[in-house]
């Protein structure tokens, strides 16, 4: 069997006497798009930070390709919800994207060319010489995604990255990240409060129950790709999943 890209085994997290996550077992297949939903306080962001290597579990394990996660790695890039704070305001857009190339010792001219190739991929070529503060929220989030892709990660961890965007921008970026993950064969773990977003993007959806956070259900989405913002959301399978997840969250 192929080694899962990510795994958690009996993973638990406590902050003092407060149990946040309780014996969470999840496998994320290589190249899979896994959505995670759940009410506020169920530990979604805590779980993502552990997978990123930004914090450690109290007990149990988090694994990447079968090896314990003991810190951050270039193989695992994280996209935060607060794009305005994630970007460096004093650097141009292309220079923000080129940060990963700088750490590799790549010459400036080559860094610029590689950054612009990623900006073209994200539809941001004309914004390369601008500063983040001159861009819309959706464009800033595209820059953050481009900067993560510059790492050439095998895993992309996304913490409600579209939550602060308007509906049309959000749908555009949903389709963009779905296309990019398929083209680049990147494994994605995507945290969201939005049930429809979770189903639309995911190959599978993990529903977490709160107090403490634990896996309530794992749903195989089973919808064909590429997906369409109108027809996919009207598919009876999509609607059945939405009803199931809604009922689960209301119960909890």
What pLDDT is recorded for position 86? Answer: 85
pLDDT at residue 1 tops 70 = no
CATH number for the domain running over 1-75+155-162+189-252: 3.40.50.300
What pLDDT is recorded for position 214? Answer: 95
pLDDT at residue 153 tops 80 = yes
* Each residue's pLDDT tens digit, 179-235: 999 998 999 999 999 999 999 999 999 999 999 999 999 999 999 999 999 999 999
Contact 38, 219 (CB under 8 A): no
* Each residue's pLDDT tens digit, 123-134: 899 999 999 999
> What is the distance between the alpha carbons of residues 137 and 143, in angstroms, rounded to a whole number?
10
Residue 91 CA, distance from chain mean position: 24
CA distances from 228 to 57, 156, 231 (A): 38, 22, 6
Residues 107-114, mean pLDDT to the nearest whole number: 89
Q: Where are the domains of the chain?
A: 1-75+155-162+189-252
* Each residue's pLDDT tens digit, 17-76: 999 999 999 999 999 999 999 988 899 999 999 999 999 999 999 999 999 999 999 999
What pLDDT is recorded for position 164? Answer: 79
What pLDDT is recorded for position 12? Answer: 97
Alpha helices in 106-229 (DSSP H): 108-121, 137-150, 167-184, 195-201
User: Model confidence at 83, in pLDDT bands (50, 70, 90)?
Assistant: confident
Contact 63, 6 (CB under 8 A): yes
Alpha carbon distance, N-terminus to C-terminus of the chain: 35
The pTM for the full model equals 0.92
């Amino acid at each position: 069997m192929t080694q899962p890209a990510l795994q958690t085994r009996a993973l638990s997290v406590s902050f003092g006497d407060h149990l946040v996550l309780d014996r969470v077992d999840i496998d994320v297949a290589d190249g899979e798009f896994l959505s995670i939903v759940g009410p506020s306080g169920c530990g979604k962001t805590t779980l993502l930070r552990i997978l990123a290597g930004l914090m450690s579990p109290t007990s149990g394990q988090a694994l990447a390709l079968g090896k314990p996660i003991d810190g951050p790695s270039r193989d695992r890039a994280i996209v935060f919800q607060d794009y305005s704070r994630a970007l460096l305001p004093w650097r141009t857009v292309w220079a923000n994207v080129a940060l990963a190339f700088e750490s590799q010792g790549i010459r400036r001219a080559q860094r610029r060319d590689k950054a612009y190739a990623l900006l073209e991929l994200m539809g941001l070529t004309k914004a390369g010489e601008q500063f983040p503060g001159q861009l819309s929220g959706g464009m800033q989030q595209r820059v953050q995604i481009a900067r993560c892709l510059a790492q050439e990660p095998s895993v992309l961890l996304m913490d409600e990255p579209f939550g602060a965007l308007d509906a049309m921008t959000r749908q555009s970026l949903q389709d963009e990240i779905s296309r990019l993950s398929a083209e680049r064969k990147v494994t994605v773990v995507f945290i969201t409060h939005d049930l429809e977003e979770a189903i639309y993007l995911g190959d599978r959806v993990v529903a977490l129950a709160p107090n403490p956070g634990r896996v309530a259900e794992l749903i195989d989405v089973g919808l064909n790709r590429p997906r369409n913002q109108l027809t996919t959301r009207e598919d009876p399978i999509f609607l059945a999943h939405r009803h199931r997840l809604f009922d689960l969250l209301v119960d909890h």
